[in-house]
Amino acid sequence: MSLDHDKISKLGEQHPPPANHVYAYGTAGFRSNANVLDAVLFRVGIIAVFRSMKLDGKAVGVMITASHNPECDNGVKLVDPHGDMLDPSWEAYATALANTPLDSLASYCSQLANTLKIDLTKKANIIIARDTRPSGDAMLSSLNHGIESVNNGSVSVQDFGLATTPALHYLVRATNSKGTNDDYGEPTIQGYMDKMVSAFNGLVQGKPSIAPLKVDCANGIGAPYIHDLSEKLQKVNAPLTLEPVFDDTTPGIGKLNNGCGADHVKSKQLLPVGFTPGPNERCASLDGDADRIVYYYNDQRGNFKLLDGDKIASLLSVFIIDLVEKAGLTDTANVGVVQTAYANGCSSKFINAQQVPIKCVPTGVKHLHHAAQQYSVGVYFEANGHGTVLFSDEFINLVKSTVPVMPAQQTALQQLIHLSQLANQTVGDALSDLLLVEAILIQKQWGPAEWDGLYEDFPNRLVKVTVPDRTAFTTTDAERKLVTPADLQKEIDGHVSKYQDGRSFVRPSGTEDCVRVYAEAQTRGQADELAFKVAGLIYDKFDAMIPPSRLYWSPHSYQSAIVRLCLEEKIYSDRELDLIQVDLNMGDNFHPSFLAINPAGTLPVLLILNQ
């Protein structure tokens, strides 16, 4: 059987690619402004059918979302039959198909089918969902046209409408495992929610309730899910009350992720705009597609305190290690934590002190997920709040086959089973992670301050530095050390050695010509100074200056260079923005000035020395 070239061409002509736009399938799939994604969605429909056919008709997922991006953006990613991300070897095929000229699209589809040895007579099953973005309907139409263009009459499509990204991952795995020994659950949204609620209730039944949790839903798809979850918890008399805020999902008004959501809270280290919780009031923020979560609170003095992915991983690992010990499985099971270079040094020290091994891997969920699978129980979280806990089949079988000799051991074994059923085994899941955290806090009867007291983060700074060619920067040791440019790492190490508990690394961006400089030290000033010094090294070696409209001098200036830095991790207060304006024609005559915060939440700073 061969493809219908006329059908592909005629439908493809309705979705022409924009001129001079190059697409790349990355960890998040394809993601960009919605205006340039029409052709991409069409071609993703084709690759989804091919992927399912290649896998003998197993269901493949397609999620239309741009996660934490602004409402004007959108994106699409594929989900493999086990509920995990698209096999990396297929990312190149998706990229090539997305960039194929319209006049050769049909012939390339046939070429790709031949290359992949796809039997075009096979069935295909596609599961689709999308978030609340106003562009979602148009994206869905384009996707369906792509699917139809290669439909041999045996292609089945299930459209679950508006859903979270983790729910789509669950649905794919549950669909493919239904009726097998690895049955993951009922392949419906209701089945997804009920599985979590049942497992959570098993962990906290009979425990006293704690204070209600305020949940910032980012004005996204998480909002109806949190409302539904709240109702289900009430019906089973669970000791947890959820209070949704920022839950307006009206499309087209620009509220999605705007001044709220996990990315806003984490990157700016600020409360959602207009939201003022009381002292020690526990709060959490989801992102736009509900696959990541961060917690936070205001302490008694009104200081903002962030409980990010590092703090979540620490809480989970301590709790799980305790259960494994009580279950009598310490000698037969290994628990590990997977982090990236961005994990705060204090979190790593704390976890190590609990005798829990840590593996550091390159940035990207696929790296963390794969590494976590190597443990009996693998906890992985990025600092941004994306993560989960993976339980190996061997460990679950061990737990089920262990005969308890004491009531405490029996309780621990039961709780490990509940944890494995609550934690999403396919992808990071804000709802699942929320319930995991809340179950532990309920068991311990902790508030946010007690949790935060596990350890105190080192102050840190993340800086983006624009460079002419990011490929000149290569790394090793899980992106913690530079290989090239030659000798730059030695200079970085020289600066780091001057700071107590200092740490800094430079890694190239995966999507734009810039590098990211991370630094941490014992004090805020030292962390900033170290970040600026390392950024200065880069500017001294590369022609990276972008002519600015305004020039400012920072007291942390070090290198003899004019450096433009975008401080991404935190918006300074006016008090902290007391910088000095510089007129280069005036030599050392500096004039005090306050720098206004721009709408994007970035802060341009120029380091000017030896002028």
C-alpha span between 38 and 15 (Å, rounded): 6
Architecture of the CATH domain 184-457: 3-Layer(aba) Sandwich (3.40)
What ranges do the domains of the chain cover?
Answer: 5-162, 184-457, 460-607
Query: Could you name the CATH architecture of 5-162?
Result: 3-Layer(aba) Sandwich (3.40)
Q: d(Cα 450, Cα 435) in Å, to the nearest integer?
A: 18
Going by C-beta distance under 8 Å and a sequence separation of 6 or more, which residues neighbour residue 178? 187
Annotated binding-site residues read 67, 287, 289, 291, 382-384, 507-511, 516
pLDDT computed for residue 97 by the predictor: 98
Closest CA to 62 of 132, 204, 165, 156: 165
- pLDDT recorded at residue 511: 63
DSSP secondary structure of 11-37: HHHTSPPPTT-----BTTBEEEEGGG-
In the sheet that holds 335-339, the strands lie side by side as 358-360, 335-339, 377-381, 387-391
**Which segments are annotated as binding site for Mg(2+)?**
67, 287, 289, 291
In this chain, the answer to whether the domains covering 5-162 and 184-457 adopt an identical fold is: yes
Q: Kindly list the averaged pLDDT for each block of 10 residues, start to end, along the chain of length 611.
A: 94 96 91 96 99 98 96 96 95 97 97 96 98 97 98 97 98 98 97 98 96 97 98 97 94 86 90 95 98 97 95 98 97 96 94 95 91 98 96 97 97 98 98 99 98 94 83 92 92 95 91 84 90 85 46 35 35 33 30 31 36 29
- Which residues, in sequence order, are CB contacts of 545 under 8 Å at separation 6+? 539, 561, 562, 563, 564
The catalytic residue among 2, 9, 67, 549 is 67
Nearest to 184 by CA among 546, 15, 411, 426: 426
Amino acid present at 591: H
Helix (H) or strand (E) holding 406: none
Q: Give the per-residue pLDDT at 311.
A: 98
H-type helices in 251-332, by residue range?
Answer: 262-268, 309-326
Q: What residues contact residue 356 under an 8 Å CB cut-off, 6+ apart?
A: 317, 321, 335, 336, 337
User: Residues marked as binding for substrate?
Assistant: 382-384, 507-511, 516
Element (H, E) at 411: helix 407-422
DSSP label at residue 359: E
CATH homologous superfamily of 460-607 equals Alpha-D-phosphohexomutase, C-terminal domain (3.30.310.50)
Residue from 463, 426, 11, 89 nearest 267 by CA: 463
What are the CA-CA distances from residue 37 to residues 22, 141, 151, 255, 455 (Å)?
11, 12, 22, 21, 44
Q: Is 67 a catalytic residue?
A: yes
Residues 6+ apart with CB under 8 A from 456: 346
Rounded to 10 degrees, the C-alpha dihedral 490/496/497/501 comes to: -150
| pTM for this entry | 0.87
pLDDT at 451: 98
- What was the pLDDT predicted at 296? 98
Q: What is the pLDDT of residue 45?
A: 99
